[in-house]
Structure 1
Amino acid sequence: MRRLPSALAGALLPLTLAACIANPAPEIATPAPDLPPAFLYQPEGAAGAELAALMPQGDPAWRTLSEAAIAEGPSLAEALARIDSARAGARRAGADRLPNITADGDVTRNRINPAQFGQAGQQGFIPREQSSYGANIVASWDPDLFGELKAQERAAIARIDAASAQAQGVRLALLAEIAASVTDWRVLDARAAAIEADGTAARQLASLAKVREDAGIAPGFDRVRAEATASSSAVRLAALDSERARLIGRLVTLTGQDGASVRAALAVPAPALAPASAPAGLPSDLLANRPDVAAAAASLAASDADLAAAARARFPRITLSGVIGLLAFDPEDFFDSDSIIGTLTAGIAGPLLDFGRVGAGIDAAAADKRAAFAAYRGAVFTALGDAEAAYGVVTAADNEARLSVAERDQLTRAASLAETRYRAGLASFLEVLEARRAADASGERAAAALGRAQRARIVLWQALGGDVMASAAPTD
């Protein structure tokens, strides 16, 4: 009968080894995405342009509000908290690879029936009640011979990178939203200036019509139509207030500042809109610059480490543990040498018949890795599509702005010539009024077109991955 344990161990060893080699981790290919050599709509001769120039760097409101958003913006604070959470997870995974040492103490009072010990209990040799006093230090350690804990730590570290990249993405989106809102505000200023100029010209025209009416050389209807044109300009100017209120509310949400502070920042004068040249870039640069691509790559690395950890669960785990403590039945004997107790244990445990549990874990981790790779490829081609579209929109917006400015200049000159001819009696008031209305609309259109050109550059800045060092403080 004494040979049974050895025989049992010999019988179980092949099963244990079989469990170790079952359910191997599948090989999942993750080839690098095939990117084009250049962007289709990238402008020529823009190699010297800087990415930071795409943002309204010269606008004091942009600097003030972006700094406030970085310091106090609620969306960024949430993203930074997720980084802290990921770091805590990595520290926990690293700590799991080190010995775990605990301490405990107890006082126990037991009451028994001495009769259970037979004659000795009935004769009073066994006490009915007994108190014990104990204190222990317990240490345990998994040497992680097969690397499961190390793989889990790699996954946790990769998730820090993913959380950091996601926070950078939130930061860039936040800065882009603020830049777009500030740009929209400056466009409103430019539109307001154009409308005010239109109103001034209409009032001057009404004054001229009044003079000619008083002189009896023009009907009063001319003056009324000129005054109606001036009133139309006032209505257009008043309509801008609702757009200003919307922008202030948006900036309050983005920056975490009150409305008065936002309004004060926007009240500081800024240079006129002058869109900068779009910088040249390579599609391959998106892999390093885009936060969403970096986050997807880190998530893929984490899923790869998770798959490795799941595969290593097939192997046995060896645990070393030890206990040293004191146990006494009288407080006075607590520190006697006879009260010292201890235990040293080495254990091994591994899958034998788990009925597919380990295999299911490996399959789930493999599926997660395939999903992470698909998400990574999706992020890469999303970045490529964003950059291609942004370059194309910049080109189209620049053409629109150029044509709108030329149209404004031509129609303004035509209105001036019509008014001169009217003063000389060579043109009718209707011709002057029609030329004035055409010029009035062109000024506002040109301001809006310049704003769209600047906004397109902000979209391009974000699509290319932003300017991390110049636009934001580090996450630590």
Structure 2
Amino acid sequence: MKFPKLTPILFSLALAGCAVGPEYQAPQDAVGNEFLYSTVAGTQASQQTVQSQWWLAFNDAKLNQLVEQAQRQNISLKIAAERIKAAQAYQQAIESFKVPTISLNAGATSYQISENDPLAGPLVTPGALGDLTGGGALIDNQYDFTTVNANISWEVDVFNRLGYQAESAEIRAQQAAIMKDAMVTLITSDVIHNYLQYRGAEKRKAIAQETIESQQQTLKLVKSVVKSGYGSELDLAQAKAALSVTKSVIPQLDIAQNVHKQRLAILLGRNAADMNSLLAGKGELPDFSGLVPVGMPSEVLKNRPDIQIAEREMAAINADVGAAIANKYPKFYLTGSPGVLAGDFSDLFSSDSAAWLASVGVSWTVFDGGRSEAMVELQESRFQAAALSYEQSVNNAINEVETLLYAYGSSQELETLTADTRTQADKAYDKASSLYRAGLADYMAVLDAQRQQNIVKDREVAANLQTSQVIIGLHKALGGNWEVAPSTSTSGK
């Protein structure tokens, strides 16, 4: 009966699956059913906050093209993609420890025993043993044989140590994919921000150039009035000073444009010459024409990459805790080496040439000075820290959305007030100019009205940019997948 020899193997297999680590449970967050400022203008109540390619509501084909190119060409995104591959390869490597390792070996051997060998020499030397061998050698001094065999080894994962390690590696691969999604959001929002700032500087430059033309016309008028004797040299000096101040703004706006253009070049993985071509021609500062879908806070927690990463960190460390606990228990090994061995190659695969070796082993560290317990405590402490980090991420996310919702309402109100102020400033300048031409007001009234008009024009652009930046930040805070689907490509070829 050969069954008793298999008893240790069967016993080991019967113990398989005895996991000793903690069972992971995803955190449940009580974050309320709605945001405090979810009803501000420009938002829409929705059960789903994810809005694919939300920036299309800016109605700017150039912006859409830049976003798509950045997502396809950005170097940081390519690095993130490679990190996903590396994490998946690491996961596969860890998973491989759960299955038997098999190696095949084959070889031909020829050896000869020396007659001068102090131990075996007499056995192969004729007559060395006298009458025992009848004058011959006890054994031949030369042997040839061929062998083919396989080595099989397998750690029976009785307490799920390898399973926990594989689970942790799998979660790390998931985190790498989430990190890439987060990188897509970051890069895309940076592209939108810099493009809007570029167009904003372009718009402000156009306003300054229009102001320069207006001030040059005013300067001609002042010179004419002074020449006729109705004006003063002070009026002329003030008109020249106002013109110089406005001209000094142009270089600053050129610098701002160039900074944002260079930033776009980095994001798109392009050079400055390419960006000059991509941004050629004057474009309008785009206005957002859509509504921001504001879902429930629980939806936000599912859509934000930072929260997803924090939750996956808890799950990964929980698996590490399980592996540390399982490491305290015995490890069981099964090994085998079946093969064939023959002195003549023609006999190698006959039934009489079969040979095999099988064994069952166990390894158990019974004393390590408390090292195993310390490692468990270390992993448990890491888990508690990860849980606190998750809680902090949730609080930050909810507060960030609330803050940006309030800012969105306030920025829209600012835009409305600035537009009304612009209307009044235009009327004031037209009236002051008319009175000055009629000789019923001095030039100071015209200069002050023009200065106010220029300030309001610039503030109007700044208010528009502020609202756009809040919209970008609000979409980031709400989360979601920002990746451009290949099937909906909008860039030119």
Question: Normalising by structure 2, what TM-score?
Answer: 0.82
Moved more, 114-123 or 72-81: 114-123
**Residue 384 of structure 1, aligned match among 380, 398, 412:** 398
User: Can you list the C-alpha shifts for 1:77-112, whole angstroms capped at 9, x where unaligned?
Assistant: 111112112211222233322232211234556565
Query: 1:270 Cα deviation (Å)?
Result: 4.3
The superposition leaves residues 177-210 of structure 1 with CA deviations (integer Å, 9 ceiling, x where unpaired) of 1111011011112211221221121112112223
Matches within 5 A, 1:222-241: 222-241=235-254
Q: Distance in 1 between matches of 2:368 and 2:226?
A: 103
Choose which of 17, 23, 34 in structure 2 pairs with 1:38: 34
State how 1:343-422 maps to structure 2 within 5 Å: 343-422=357-436
Counterpart Cα distance in 1 of 2:233 and 2:366: 105
Q: CA deviation at 1:366?
A: 1.9
Name the structure 2 match of 1:427.
Answer: 441
Rate the CA distance shift 1:44–1:220 in 2: closer, same or farther, 3 A. Answer: closer
- Is the Cα contact below 8 Å between 1:299 and 1:372 reproduced in 2? yes
The 5-angstrom pairing of residues 132-151 of structure 1 reads: 132-151=145-164
CA gap 1:54/1:391 in 2 versus in 1, 3 angstroms: farther
Matches within 5 A, 1:144-163: 144-163=157-176
Q: Deviations over 1:387-409 (max 9, x none)?
A: 22222332332333333332222
Aligned-pair CA distance for 1:131: 5.4
Q: How far has the Cα of 1:173 moved from its partner? A: 0.6
> CA 1:139–1:473 in 2, change beyond 3 Å: closer, same or farther?
farther
Aligned to 2:44: 47
Contact 2:102 2:152 survives alignment (8 Å): yes
Q: CA deviation at 1:463?
A: 1.0
- Please name the residue that 1:299 is paired with: 313
How many pairs does the alignment contain? 455
Please list the CA deviations of residues 41-99 of structure 1 after superposition, one character each: whole Å capped at 9, or x if unmatched: 43436325885546764223321221111111111111111211221122223332223
Matches within 5 A, 1:315-334: 315-329=329-343, 334=348
- Hey, what's the Cα distance between the residues in 1 that align with 2:55 and 2:351? 78
Cα deviation 1:447-474 (Å, max 9, x = unaligned): 11211111111111111114536x4669
123-132 or 237-246, larger mean C-alpha shift: 123-132
Q: Paired residue for 2:181? A: 168
Is contact 2:59–2:288 with CA below 8 Å preserved after alignment? no
- The alpha-carbon deviation at position 115 of structure 1 amounts to 2.8
Residue 106 of structure 2 is matched in structure 1 by: 105
Taking a change above 3 Å as real, the CA distance of residues 238 and 357 of structure 1, as seen in their structure-2 partners, is: closer
Cα displacement string for residues 130-158 of structure 1 (whole angstroms, at most 9, x for unaligned residues)? 55543322223344343333332222222
> TM-score, normalized by length of structure 1?
0.84
Q: Structure 1: which 5+ runs fail to align?
A: 1-8
Distance, in Å, in 2 between the alignment partners of 1:134 and 1:32 is: 61
Report the CA distance between 1:368 and its aligned residue: 2.5
- Post-superposition Cα deviations, 1:395-446, rounded to whole Å, max 9, x if no partner, equal 3323333333322222222111100111122111121112112211221122
Residue-by-residue CA offset, 1:6-26 (whole Å, 9 max, x unaligned) = xxx9xxx9xxx9xxx9x9757
In the alignment, is the contact (CA less than 8 A) between 1:147 and 1:309 conserved in 2? yes
Cα distance change on mapping 1:275 and 1:212 into 2, 3 Å: same
What SS is found at the alignment partner of 1:136? strand
Contact 2:325/2:376 (CA < 8 Å) preserved in 1? Answer: yes
Residue 468 of structure 1 aligns to a residue whose secondary structure is coil
Tell me whether 32-41 or 122-131 shows the greater mean CA deviation. 122-131
CA contact (8 A) 2:111 2:143 kept: yes
Which has the higher mean CA deviation after the structures are superposed, 164-173 or 310-319? 310-319
Change over 3 Å in CA distance of 1:156–1:467 after alignment to 2: closer
Report the alpha carbon displacement of residue 29 of structure 1 after superposing the two structures with TM: 8.3
Q: Is the 8 A contact 1:68 1:257 kept in 2?
A: no
